[in-house]
Chain A
């Protein structure tokens, strides 16, 4: 039987299953078995987050309007990072901001900490009106942001992108040109829920971000196209809920996967998926997930891209 160990953007991982940013607090719940821990997005200033109600269940998923609640860069670095450094798995810190300079300050400070293996730039949060999401909808802004942050750290920079843009592969290409070492696809899809009784918006933030199995096809499509256009390594996230999903995401072009919303219903899922993967890979006649990566591109991939272009 093959090994699940892999390497992503220079970071050695015991297996290919991570958590999605903002969907696990390892200081409260432990790592739940992830091979690298991804933090909730940290911003320069502390953020209280959006007023309740912050979550609503939807068909095969949920919408959230957490609003990037976080302790801010200062407290994160002083109080959280030293404890996260003791978790025993590589750390990927997610950063967000409202200007290139804000990101740059965060990247410099976080990237200087020896425990940080890589940084993820969140240019895709749907729960703030300006800032990261507006950068991530604009390829030129995204390229400039990556270039600016590239100058601040030696660590690999991953760009986390939103599918709620006209052409995510154009943003991905811009991120690659700006110096991104990898991509994280996808953040939540813009969404909304209406209270069935009052017929008013259910979430305190008005709109929110859709996640869970409902977004899996959106994630696969974004991964497939961004892989084709950039060739960058990809963390696949968006509705992953079982070992079979890992293979499908890998085939579309993800090198590793992250579990998000699925962890909320089953915190034991990382361990279950990791236990199931070797047998599933064997049934597909391969020994590692790497053997599956990009498989959907090999035969019909090019033709599919063309068909897809005609449809959009």
Chain B
């Protein structure tokens, strides 16, 4: 059963370089775990965007839920312009927080979900971030003051390759090509790796089959199986059959 949809007030909206931070006042409602996601829609519903947007929180607690957005279309523009937002979630499976050292890898707007992990992971955290341009990298300050930040044409897999092998768990979120490269590196060094993936979603609760991703060698619904998956389940070419 999907949770009830609730309407939350917008507490504040801030520009963070090229991205926008949207902070909702939580009413004490459930927030789930880092990596789970919410379906968000401006209230009243915007004319130009019919479907809600699937977003994972940057951080969340009983008092507020924050999202870092790349405002690109009518739906996201309506969200950052709204006084209140209808919220369905938390949905899907989030990160399992392993004890011991963690390496966080974020690419582009995928870095949006890392602040919560930095806050909640119990062990020491090393953060590696890759962005297209400096204006996208401004958000690194929200994530981890000590983060290693690279800009294109350097890819975030370069600093990662230098850290591996390591006695750590890798948590990654970013574009598909980056996730595949991170997964391949981790597989090579037998380092456990969790990926937060993205797919176009219409519903977020298993109804539309729109979010299919190749998981365990079959098209499966990312909103049900993920969005956080063990890297071996999605590695192109298969991992352990």
Contact = CB atoms under 8 A, between A and B. Distances in A.
A299 interface: no
Interface stretch (A58-66, A88-96, A174-182): A58-66
Nearest to B201: A55
Interface residues of A, number: 34
Nearest to A23: B207
A213 B224 CA distance: 27
A24 B203 CA distance: 10
A10 interface: no
Given A57-B51, A266-B5, A52 B206 contact: no
A28 B209 contact: no
Interface range for B? 20 to 34
Contact of B48 (A25, A59, A212): A59
B207 A54 contact: no
Contacts of A267: 2, 5, 88, 203, 205, 207
Nearest to B86: A266
B51 A264 contact: yes
Nearest to B204: A264
Contacts of A212: 50
Nearest to A204: B212
B88 A49 contact: no
A264 B53 CA distance: 11
Nearest to A69: B209
A29 B206 contact: yes
A52 B213 contact: yes
Contacts of A48: 218-219
Contacts of A99: none
B210 A25 contact: no
Nearest to A49: B219
Contact of B200 (A25, A51, A53): A53
Contact of A28 (B39, B200, B206, B211): B206
B50 A61 contact: yes
B206 A265 contact: no
A51 B214 CA distance: 9
Interface string B176-220: 000000000000000000000001111101111111110000110
Contacts of B209: 22, 25, 40, 49, 54, 66, 69
A75 B181 CA distance: 36
B110 interface: no
B49 interface: yes
Contacts of A30: 1
Contacts of B86: 266
B200 A52 contact: yes
A2 interface: no
A294 B218 CA distance: 46
Contacts of B232: none
A264 B202 CA distance: 6
A23 B219 contact: no
B52 interface: yes
Nearest to A27: B206
A263 B203 CA distance: 8
Contact of A55 (B2, B200, B213): B200
A266 B48 CA distance: 17
A263 B1 CA distance: 13
Contacts of B41: 265
Given A55-B202, A59-B48, A29 B210 contact: no
Contacts of B4: 268
A52 B51 contact: no
Contacts of A28: 205-207, 224
Given A52-B199, A57-B75, A265-B41, A25 B50 contact: no
A165 interface: no
B207 A263 contact: yes
Given A29-B2, A55-B208, A62 B218 contact: no
Interface of A: 22-25, 28-30, 40, 48-49, 51-62, 64, 66, 69, 212-213, 261, 263-268
Given A55-B208, A268-B5, 14 more contacts: A23-B207, A24-B207, A29-B207, A40-B209, A58-B50, A66-B209, A69-B209, A69-B212, A212-B50, A213-B50, A264-B52, A264-B202, A266-B5, A267-B207
8 contacts: A28-B207, A29-B206, A40-B209, A54-B200, A54-B212, A57-B50, A69-B212, A261-B202
